[in-house]
Amino acid sequence: MNKTITLALTGASGMRYAMRLLEMLLGNGHTVYLVYSQAAQFVARQELDLVLPSRSTEACALLAQRYRCKTGQLQVFARDDWMAPIASGTGAADAMVVCPCTMGALSAIANGASDNLIERAADVMIKEGRKLILVPRETPLSAIHLENMLKLARIGVVILAANPGYYHLPASVQDVIDFIVARILDQLGIEHSLMAKWGEVKLPD
């Protein structure tokens, strides 16, 4: 069954995770509502040499062509678009992923701030009791970071830190990226073949 997933990009390092996740979601026929911060645009340029346009229509055209998705399968919203469906419980997606997630965005979500569309969409997911996954990529973590994570975890938000495992013997950076994306897809209940599951991994002789 195809799902509708809100994907929010913030200014933490780890934009490769987000783009791979977007590719997997669109490639498997799911609908994606995409929104990103100004800092995320900077990180995308820094890490991927990818220019994410400020205009949502231009961003949608660029990414739809890049990932060859169907018309309407990808919708991009400006961070101040309060008429976007994800700004209300009546238009909320099946689930939301913030990837990568800055500590600033995590803090705002933990404290109920709704100063932009990313924060409001996350607030909607919490109040509607829907799956919200935050993918922080920060180290070391301060007591403030940990307290905010605990606060969110206690109300059912998934804190999926970008900490890759190595038991599957990754041979490339892409394998490491796919490990985290696979964990996100698992949380979304979306089938994938990015890597073998535990118990299916072939260990060296």
Report the CATH number at residue 172.
3.40.50.1950
In a domain, 196, yes or no: no
Sequence-distant (6+) residues with CB within 8 A of 191 are 28, 185
Cα–Cα dist 73/31, whole Å:
5
Q: Give the pLDDT band (50/70/90) at residue 204.
A: low
In a domain, 36, yes or no: yes
Average pLDDT over all residues of the chain: 95
Domain span at residue 45?
A: 4-188
In a domain, 202, yes or no: no
In a domain, 205, yes or no: no
Q: Give the pLDDT band (50/70/90) at residue 200.
A: confident
Instruction: Tally the domains of the chain.
Output: 1
Q: At what angle do helices 103-110 and 143-154 cross, to 10 degrees?
A: 50
Q: Give the pLDDT band (50/70/90) at residue 51.
A: very high
Paired tokens of 39: 């800092």
pTM score, two decimals?
0.95
Coil, strand or helix: which one is 32?
strand
Q: Give the pLDDT band (50/70/90) at residue 205.
A: low
Q: Are 168 and 204 in contact (CB under 8 A)?
A: no
